[in-house]
Amino acid sequence: MIRTQDITKSFGENEVLKGITTEFYDGKPNLIIGSSGAGKTVLLKLLVGLFTPTTGKVFYDDVDLFSLDDDAIREVRMKVGMLFQGNALFDSMTVGENIRFPMDMFTKKTLKEKTKRVDECLEMVNMEGINDRFPSEVSGGMQKRVGIARAMVLEPKYLFCDEPNSGLDPKTSILIDELICDLTNRNNITTVINTHDMNSVMGIGDNIVLLKDGHLVWQGDKTQVLESEKEVLQDFIFASPFLRRLREDALKQRHAHD
């Protein structure tokens, strides 16, 4: 579990995060949602230690991340996998080499063992047989999957995904969501996903944190999203008249069923 305690983050005069206290649970996808500029990416980068908070603490289980020295932080990070918005695959390496890189750097496995693990990871994301292709030779959706495979290669305890659906068509987005959800449940890892994709929210949102102007304004799950009357949540999730009508219909159906 990851826990934040009264986190604030300022860049100069600009306070981007304002007193965020929340928890991200094991074995379920935890979503951070909010409009652009709400502070989602800053919070995610803070959770992985790429930014340090101005005030407040981040706990990995019961370990305060920012009380650790650089070496200890690196040890924690070896239990972390991250999928970046732009995938961050190394262009000069093949897909196989990209996935193998963390093992090359941190393990004493033989080449045969590493190749076997690369194949397992590619199979896990349904991308067998593309080891020798370069990232530029595969589609955006495939790059996302390769990014997930690389993030999973050292069997992380914590998985972070920054906008995993950005730039993907709705069908591929859903496949990526299902894949992340499946890996999270199967491996019982703490997954934190930064998104503003409403399909993700309603599909895999087991724990949703809504940010607005740097404040945590709502937290709940996908079933509560539909029921909640909180205006800031409804304005964000059901932004268009079409989506509002859908919500009303869904609520009517639910009440009729009850």
CB of 179 to another protein, least distance (A): 19
Q: What are phi and psi of 128, to 5 degrees?
A: -65, 145
* Residue choice 48, 142, 216, 233 for contact with another protein (CB under 8 A): 48
Told to check if 11 binds another protein by CB under 8 A, we report no
Closer by beta carbon to another protein, 39 or else 156: 156
Tell me the C-alpha distance between 195 and 184, whole Å: 16
Closer by beta carbon to another protein, 34 or else 81: 81
* Residue choice 18, 35, 56, 101 for contact with another protein (CB under 8 A): 101
CB of 16 to another protein, least distance (A): 16
Instruction: Please classify residue 91 by burial: count the beta carbons closer than 10 Å to its beta carbon, then call 0-12 exposed, 13-18 middle and 19+ buried.
Output: exposed
> Can you read off the two tokens belonging to residue 160?
């972070």
Using left for φ > 0, alpha for ψ between -120 and 50, and beta otherwise, residue 51 falls in beta
Told to check if 84 binds another protein by CB under 8 A, we report yes
Closer by beta carbon to another protein, 75 or else 182: 75
Closer by beta carbon to another protein, 59 or else 84: 84
Residue pair 31/165 in contact (Cβ under 8 Å)? The answer is no
Tell me the C-alpha distance between 183 and 145, whole Å: 12
Told to check if 78 binds another protein by CB under 8 A, we report yes
CA angle 53, 58, 62 (to 5 degrees): 155
# binding residues, another protein (CB under 8 A): 24
Told to check if 90 binds another protein by CB under 8 A, we report yes
Selection from 152, 170, 172, 171 nearest residue 161 by Cα: 152
Told to check if 209 binds another protein by CB under 8 A, we report no
Which residues of this protein are in contact with another protein, per CB under 8 A?
45, 48, 50, 70, 74-75, 77-78, 80-82, 84-86, 88, 90-91, 101-102, 104-106, 154, 160
